[in-house]
Homo-oligomer: A and B are copies of this chain.
Amino acid sequence: MPEVVFPLDNSKKFTDQQIVGHNRWHPDIPAQVQVKPGDAFRVECREWFDGAIHNDDSAEDVLNAPLPSVHVLSGPLEVQGAEPGDLLMVDILDVGPVPQEDSGPLAGQGWGYTGIFAKENGGGFLTDQFPDAYKVIWDFRGGVATSRHVPSVSFVGIVHPGLMGTAPSADLLATWNAREQELIDTDPDRVPPLALPPLPDSAVLGTLSGDDFDRVAREAARTAPPRENGGNQDIKNFTKGTRVFYPVFVPGAKLSMGDLHFSQGDGEITFCGAIEMGGFIDLGVDLIKGGMETYGVSENAIFMPGNVAPQYSEWLAFSGTSVTLDGKQHYLDAQLSYQRACLHAIDYLTKFGYSPEQAYMILGAAPIEGRLSGVVDIPNSCSTVYIPTAIFDFDVSPGKGGPHQVDPGQGVPKASF
C-alpha cells in the first residue's frame, strides 16, 4: 500500500478529521499535503454526503439530502514544481471502497447507495417523470453489486472517482462565477435551479478561518459541475489503470478528489447518484512541463482509460430522438434524445416486472453506455443507451416467447414532500 498522505478516521465527521478537506473550488484554499512528481500515494475519501445517507429502507435521507454540503473532497494536494501551463499526469493506481471493512454504517463499508433527488431538492435527469425521492442500497461482495431493492441484477463494479481536478486560478474562478450567474439570472426561481452560485452556508475550506474563510466562502465555486479543471466529470471509466492529464492553473496544481463511485452508468442519470461510497484512491503523479501549450490543452481533462474494466459481449440498446414526450420537436438536443432513449429502456424493463423506479436505478448504477450516435441529422439528435445483458440473471432480449417475469420484491424506498 502506498503511503497514506490524506488519512480519514471513519468514526469522525469530515470537519473533525486530522486533515480537513474542502467542498468548494478556490485557489486560496491552502494545500496541506505535498507530493512530488514520480510519487505514488494513497488518499482516503468520504462519500460525498459525509455519511448522511444510511443503509436502510427509507428514502427520507435522500429527500432531505444536505445539498449545500457537497462534495466533501480530499485535498488540495500540492504537486511540487507544478506551474500554470503544465499538464499534471495522474495515474489511478487503485481505487476501492473502505479497505478491509465489509460492514458498517458508512457507505463504502461493504455497501453503497443510489438515490434519486426529489424535484424540489436537487431534481435529476428524469425529474419530470420521477419527481419524488428514491433510494436503493447495493451490497458489495467480491467486487460485485447486488441490491435487495432491485432483484435479478448483479454487476462487477467499475470503481472510479466521480470528481477529481486541479484548483482554478483566480481569473478562471471569476469566469465561472460570472458565466453561471448569467445563466441563473435567466430564470432565477427555477426549481430545480439552472446552476448553483457560491454559497457560504456549509462551506468547508480546509485550514482557512476568519476573514479569509469568509471571503473565500463567498467566492468559491460549487463542486457540482465539471469545468475546465476536470471536477465532477462523473466519467464511469476513470477506473484503475487510467491515466488522466489535467491542466495546471495555479502553482502546485492543488489536486483534489472525492465522490467515489462503486459503479455508474454513463451520465449518472440518477444524480444522487452512481453507487455512492467512501473509500480510497491510490495515485501516481507526474508533470509534463508546459504541456498545455505543447498538446493544445487549454481546458478540460484528457484521459486514457485502463484495460481492466469488465468485458461484455452482448448488449441491448435503445435509441431516442429529440422530441419531447408530449410531441414537441427540439433541434439537435442530445440531452433530450438521451432522456428519451433512457425512458424507452425503462418502459421496456417494466414489461419484465420491474417498477419504473427499479429500471431507472439500474440505468443509474449499472455499467450502461450512453452514446451520441447521431448529432447532425436535423432536426433530430439520436442518442442510444446500451445495457449489458449479462447483468440480468434472465434472458432480457426480445423474443417470440414474451418477457420473463421478475418478482420485483419490496421495491424501491420512496419519500415525498
A residues at B contact (CB < 8 Å): 1-3, 40, 87, 89, 91-94, 99-102, 124-125, 141-144, 156, 175, 179-180, 182-183, 192-196, 224-228, 230, 232-237, 240-241, 245, 266-271, 273, 282, 284, 288-289, 291, 294-321, 323, 327-335, 338, 340-341, 344, 347-348, 350-351, 369-384, 386, 389-390, 397-400, 402-403
Q: Which residues of B contact A87 (CB under 8 A)?
A: 398
Q: Could you jot down 10 A-B contacts, CB within 8 Å? A: A94-B143, A143-B308, A224-B378, A234-B373, A234-B382, A266-B372, A302-B319, A308-B311, A310-B313, A332-B335
- A300 and B312: CB pair below 8 A? no
CB atoms of B403 and A373 under 8 A apart: no
Q: List 13 extra interface pairs beyond A99-B99, A300-B344, CB under 8 A.
A: A1-B101, A93-B143, A179-B327, A227-B321, A268-B375, A288-B398, A296-B348, A296-B350, A300-B320, A307-B310, A307-B312, A333-B334, A335-B381
Chain B residues lying within 8 Å of A298, measured Cβ to Cβ, are: 347
Give which listed residue, B40, B235, B379, B389, contacts A319 with CB less than 8 A: B235
Identify which of B227, B235, B341 contacts A380 (C-beta below 8 A).
B227
State the CA gap A282–B389 with chains docked (Å). 26
Whether the Cβ atoms of B196 and A241 lie closer than 8 Å is no
The reply to whether A233 and B374 contact each other, CB–CB distance below 8 Å, is yes
Give the distance to chain B from A130, nearest Cβ to Cβ, in Å: 12
CA distance in complex: A93, B143 (Å): 7
Task: Check B295 against A398 for contact (C-beta < 8 Å).
Answer: yes
CA distance in complex: A376, B234 (Å): 10
In the bound complex, do residue A195 and residue B300 qualify as a contact, i.e. CB atoms below 8 Å apart? no
Contact status B335-A375, CB under 8 Å: yes
- CB pair A351 B317 closer than 8 Å: no
Q: Which residues of B contact A295 (CB under 8 A)?
A: 348, 351, 398, 403
Whether A304 lies near B397 (C-beta < 8 A) is yes
Q: Across the interface, do A378 and B267 meet the contact criterion of CB distance under 8 Å?
A: no
Q: Which 7 A-B pairs have the closest CB atoms?
A: A93-B142, A225-B380, A370-B372, A334-B334, A195-B379, A296-B347, A179-B329
List, in ascending order, chain B residues with CB within 8 A of A102's CB: 1-3
In whole Å, how far is A128's beta carbon from the nearest beta carbon of chain B?
A: 14
Task: Name A374's contact: one of B267, B369, B376 (CB within 8 Å).
Answer: B267
Is B300 a contact partner of A245 (Cβ separation < 8 A)?
A: no
Is there contact, CB below 8 Å, between A1 and B100?
yes
How distant is A379 from chain B, measured CB to nearest CB, in Å? 4
Bound-state Cα–Cα, A371 to B298, Å: 21
Instruction: Please measure, in the bound complex, the distance between the C-alpha atom of A47 and the C-alpha atom of B351, giving whole angstroms.
Output: 39
- In the complex, chain B residues whose CB is within 8 Å of the CB of A344: 296-297, 299-300, 302
User: In the bound complex, how far is the Cα of B348 from the Cα of A100, in angstroms?
Assistant: 39
Smallest CB–CB gap between A85 and chain B, Å? 14
Q: Complex Cα distance A169/B372, Å?
A: 28
Residue pair A371, B308 in contact (C-beta under 8 Å)? no
Residue of B nearest to A87 (CB): B398
In whole angstroms, what is the CA distance A383 to B370 when docked? 10
The answer to whether A319 touches B93, judged by C-beta atoms less than 8 angstroms apart, is no
